[in-house]
Amino acid sequence: MTFTSAPSSNVKEPSGGSAPSRPTLLANISGQNISLVGALVLVLALFGVLNDNYLSWSNMQVIAEAATITGLLAIVQTVVIICGGLDISVGSQVGVASVVSAMVFTSTGSNALVGMAAAVGVGLVIGVLNGLIILYGRVNPTIATLAGLAAYKGLAQLLSDGRAQGYVLNDDVFIFLGRGKIAGLPVMVWMLVVVAIGVHLLLKYTDIGRNLYAIGGNDTAARLAGIKINKYLICVYVLIGIVAAIAGILLTARTGSGQPVSGSEGLELKAITAAALGGAALKGGKGGIGGTLLAVALLGCLENGLTVEGINTFWQNVAQGALLVVAVIIQQRRNGERAIGLPN
């Protein structure tokens, strides 16, 4: 597949003369994301006072490892939001990939690489399918992936008969992914770092990244500028499918078996919340990986702190929903959007 990049002079102003936002990895910390840094410091200080072990190095590693899967999905969710789309089905995709990786591993005589390759292949197919439904079926991305949320969850349950499948912790590769460390950090965290840096570089330093911002900022102007929008969007949903498959493999490695629902349910809400909190405009054309990672860290620290303090886990869902609403309200206010039904 060949991408066609428009000349820079044609896509610098995709939305009424404003250039697409292409932040650095820790961009906007002095602006819109300063509140995230403050909130993160506040959460760390609060739970650090409440529990002496909260700020320990071992607990920080636990937080980072637990946030890895959410972080991977939030990164690719940021990319699809930047180009004006959305994928609500990522959690269910993780469940399918987790089940496939474990079941193929078991059926092939404990061949971890074959199981992982099968999971990635399934993720690629799901990504293509989502993209085709959205583009050529002319279905709104929210509706299409909402349908995928239910369909892929059902597929994972059908494949596994609704139960955890296989046992992978007798394999060195899965053990390394789920329990191994490099330079004192879990392997899972390093994988998140690699994906984050790769996607950041793609968005900031390549024509592909510039064109993704242009598509989200004004798809009509981007099309007139010669950008092959359909190809870009298909590739974005394929990227989501592949990264969701990697997250599913990590879920299998972490839990020791393929999980059709447990561990993957609710990941879509976390990913969207992190992307929105990190500054990704839900209308498209704006966002960055640095802000998303800050939001993932905030959500991870908050979730761990509530768990450590023995607070009912249902309150975590309440907090996530509230944070998403707050993020959208902040975006609307900054964009000068008029409140629905109210005068200016």
Tell me the per-residue pLDDT of 44-98, one tens digit each, with 9 for 90 and over.
999 999 988 999 999 999 999 999 999 999 999 999 999 999 999 999 999 999 9
Exposure class string for 91-122: b at 16+ Cβ within 10 A, else e: bbbbbbbbbbbbbbbbeeebbbeebbebbbbb
- Predicted confidence (pLDDT) per residue in 230-248, tens digit: 999 999 999 999 999 999 9
Q: What is the band of 105 on the pLDDT scale with cuts at 50, 70, 90?
A: very high
Q: Within its chain, how far is the Cα of 156 from the centroid?
A: 20
Q: Which among 210, 298, 305 is positioned nearest to 33, based on CA atoms? A: 298
Query: What is the identity of the amino acid at 175?
Result: I
Report d(CA 341, CA 187) in Å as an integer. Answer: 50
- Predicted confidence (pLDDT) per residue in 275-304, tens digit: 988 888 888 888 899 999 999 999 999 999
CA angle 72, 151, 191 (to 5 degrees): 15
Report d(CA 80, CA 153) in Å as an integer. Answer: 21
Asked whether the beta carbons of 316 and 55 are under 8 A apart, the reply is no
Query: What is the identity of the amino acid at 272?
Result: I
pLDDT over 70 at 6, yes or no: no
Q: Which among 248, 220, 287, 250 is positioned nearest to 77, based on CA atoms? A: 287
Q: What is the mean pLDDT of residues 333-341?
A: 61
Asked whether the beta carbons of 99 and 157 are under 8 A apart, the reply is no
**What backbone torsions phi and psi does residue 184 show, to the nearest 5 degrees?**
85, -5
pLDDT over 70 at 23, yes or no: no
Report d(CA 138, CA 254) in Å as an integer. Answer: 38
Residues 6+ apart with CB under 8 A from 226: 4, 6, 7, 10
- Residue count of the chain, please give it: 344
pTM over 0.75? The answer is yes
The overall average pLDDT reported for the chain is: 86
